[in-house]
Amino acid sequence: MADNSSDIAADQSFSMEGYDMDTLVQHAGQSADVWCTDSALVPPIMTSTTFRLPGVGELGDFVYARLGNPTRNAFEKCIASLESAKHGLAFSSGVTAQFCVASLVKAGEHIISGNDLYGGSTAQLKHMSNKYNIETSFVDCRKSENFAAAIKPNTKMIWIETPTNPGLRLADIAAIAEIAHNNGAFLCVDNTFSSPYFQKPLKLGADAVMSSVTKYINGHSDVLLGTVCTNNDEINEELRSFQKLIGAVPSPFDCYLANRGVKTLPLRMEKHQENAIAVAKALAENPRVEKVLYPGLPSHPQHDLAKKQMTGFSGMISIWIKGGLDEVKIFFKNLKIFALSVSLGGNQSLAESPATLNHGGVTEEERAEVGITVNLIRLSIGLESSSDLIEDLENALKAAIPEV
């Protein structure tokens, strides 16, 4: 695996510098003194909301659970090390993490973002624009020039997601970071689809990286949680104050689960990718499928950029089948292993229909522009056997489209 090492040790009792990600997920932030015991190998679920203070006017490492909690800190330190970041912050969900980052922008300032974001992200930016007098521009993220062209004197933040959901479009992180910095703005990248295992936006020049931990990082579809990592002290300070001011922090139990889930991130990402490559290749040859998009296939229009900025291609595939709504409905009825479910990045394979589901904040024209037509099916490839997954998809396709 190409460069997955961390060059910045997240604040740790011993230096984690230079260790591979497989080692970091096990050890970064996990030293027992971080969570107030001296010998346990696994962080406890620390439920105490308040902590004994050393003296009047003196603060200990922990004061009150909203500000910090040993279980949360262990996870925050671990995730920071994976992103090669100085600071890691956990929030109660991915959208909360995004909301806090977007709140670094003031009324009257301007945000440029990709036009093919996670539906909830677009909805949130539009909401902020309407409610808080923040200007927004949405551009096709595949051409970095589009961001340069959209810059205004009041542009404060560029927000990108790469690869995007569900168009699997890529944005050139290094090029867009340069555009942001040349114009006094900062860049935040939503790294949910690749996870830090396959992509390190901060190393490519981004100022902050956000992840919906709900997806690959936790990986077991049983925790809602979001993170932001950054090397920028000012951004960290402001985001810490949001944890304090709005209290949108994850519970100790969720932090415990996420900290446990991330331990197998490298193993899971390798298997997600191996399965996704096998499934994408099989579907590309299937006569019932009009088009397959997977950043790891040479047929993906931005495969070269994928190879340049990612060290792997993750487990998300978009396919367009030869049929309409009727065929799509029959296809889903006949799936046995894939569940018809939203979300992604979990151990089980999921399939969904973006045109009929989670794009509430997006208009019909906006959907068409990013390729969200009724025959689009998004697949989140899980950890099952790839031959069973291929058979499941082939059987459902045959049932939906008997004649080719």
Ligand X SMILES: *Cc1c(COP(=O)(O)O)cnc(C)c1O
Q: So which residues are the catalytic ones?
A: 66, 118, 190, 215
- The contact pattern for ligand X, residues 194-213, with x = CB under 6 A and - = no contact, is ------------------x-
| Two structure tokens written together for 290 | 């009009």
Q: How far is the CB of 250 from ligand X (least distance, A)?
A: 10
Q: How far is the CB of 342 from ligand X (least distance, A)?
A: 8
Residue 29's closest CA among 64, 85, 83, 77?
Answer: 77
Binding residue (CB under 6 A) for ligand X from 71, 199, 214, 309? 214
User: Does residue number 120 form part of the binding site for ligand X (CB under 6 A)?
Assistant: yes
CB nearer ligand X, residue 44 or residue 361 = 361
Backbone angles phi, psi at 350, to 5 degrees: -125, 150
First to last CA, the chain: 40
Q: What one-character DSSP code corresponds to residue 164? A: -
CB nearer ligand X, residue 372 or residue 396 = 372
User: Does residue number 109 form part of the binding site for ligand X (CB under 6 A)?
Assistant: no
Q: How far is the CB of 193 from ligand X (least distance, A)?
A: 6
| Two structure tokens written together for 99 | 């909301």
* CA atoms of 233 and 7, how far apart (whole Å): 17
**Which residues neighbour 265 within 8 Å (Cβ) at sequence distance 6 or greater?**
21, 25, 82, 195, 196, 197, 216, 217, 219
CB nearer ligand X, residue 127 or residue 281 = 127
Q: How far is the CB of 390 from ligand X (least distance, A)?
A: 24
Binding residue (CB under 6 A) for ligand X from 224, 228, 262, 289? 224
Interacting span for ligand X (CB under 6 A) from 46-54, 187-195, 305-313, 346-354: 187-195
Interacting span for ligand X (CB under 6 A) from 89-97, 169-177, 287-295, 325-333: 89-97
Tell me which residue has its CB nearest to ligand X.
94
Angle made by CA atoms 296, 298, 303, in degrees to the nearest 5: 65
The answer to whether residues 21 and 196 touch, using CB atoms and an 8 Å cutoff, is yes
User: Does residue number 215 form part of the binding site for ligand X (CB under 6 A)?
Assistant: yes
Residue ranges of the alpha helices (H) in 49-194?
A: 70-82, 94-102, 119-132, 144-150, 173-182
Contacts with ligand X in 51-70 (CB under 6 A)? none
**Which residues neighbour 101 within 8 Å (Cβ) at sequence distance 6 or greater?**
157, 159, 188, 208, 210, 228, 239
CB nearer ligand X, residue 151 or residue 276 = 276
Computed on alpha carbons and rounded to an integer, the radius of gyration of the chain in Å comes to 21
CB nearer ligand X, residue 69 or residue 93 = 93
Burial class (CB in 10 A: 0-12, 13-18, 19+), 16: buried
CB nearer ligand X, residue 98 or residue 273 = 98
User: Does residue number 122 form part of the binding site for ligand X (CB under 6 A)?
Assistant: no
Residue ranges of the alpha helices (H) in 133-232?
A: 144-150, 173-182, 195-198
- The contact pattern for ligand X, residues 134-163, with x = CB under 6 A and - = no contact, is ---------------------------x--
* CA atoms of 29 and 74, how far apart (whole Å): 5
Interacting span for ligand X (CB under 6 A) from 62-70, 102-110, 185-193, 301-309: 185-193
Q: How far is the CB of 357 from ligand X (least distance, A)?
A: 13
**Taking the C-alpha atoms of 40, 44, 50 and 53 in order, what is their torsion angle to the nearest 10 degrees?**
10
Binding residue (CB under 6 A) for ligand X from 29, 43, 94, 354? 94
Binding site for ligand X (CB under 6 A): 93-95, 118, 120-121, 161, 165, 190, 192-193, 212, 214-215, 224, 226
